[in-house]
Amino acid sequence: MQKQLPIVRLRNLIIEDTDDRFKWCMDEEVTKHLNMPDKYPPFTIEETRIWIEMCINKTNGYEQKAILTEDGKHIGWIDLKNIDSLNKHAELGITIGDKNYWGKGYGIAAMNEMLKFGFQEVGLNKIWLRVEVDNEKAISSYKRPGYVEEGILRQDRLRKGTYVDRLRMSILKEEFLVEKIIR
């Protein structure tokens, strides 16, 4: 029997999220698998604030949400990007920035909420993602809501001077809905 997932809530970003985001981006363990500039710090506090403003104003192509625990604690972010309205698919990205919440199901719970949003409100048919092949914990967590492997993207990311392969995974609307009914 699977462990019950925690309750999470997704909300639109607010400018007050800047400090949390900046703090999380200073932690190299949090950002190891994120596509970020190869410098430290990767962003200034001002660049972080500008990014959040672009998400709020929807001027960067991202549909980004804050991840909150049941009691309202901000612990990370999740987004849909590379939204293809014609073919009805988008790329998912997620980060649990507060490491106190790692490995406890918060990422999977947030993914389920974003998948519902993407399929039901945005009208997508497929949500895909790219994950580095050595990020085994993430790959395992993506399989839980029903993501399947599509293929390897060879030398797809430059990480600290070395090219790494990424796995492309996706879930279709019909697969997600069936998965939710079975659970």
Residue 3 belongs to a domain: no
Measure the CA angle with vertex 93, ends 162 and 88; round to 5°.
120
Residue 17 belongs to a domain: yes
Residue 2 belongs to a domain: no
Q: Tell how strand 63-69 and strand 162-172 pair up.
A: unpaired
pLDDT along the chain (183 residues), means of 10: 84 96 84 67 85 94 96 96 97 95 94 96 97 94 94 93 95 84 42
pTM score: 0.89
Count of CA atoms in the C-beta half-sphere (13 A) of 33: 19
Q: How many domains does the chain have?
A: 1
* Res 183: pLDDT: 40
Residue-number span of the structural domain to which 122 is assigned: 8-182
Residue 1 belongs to a domain: no
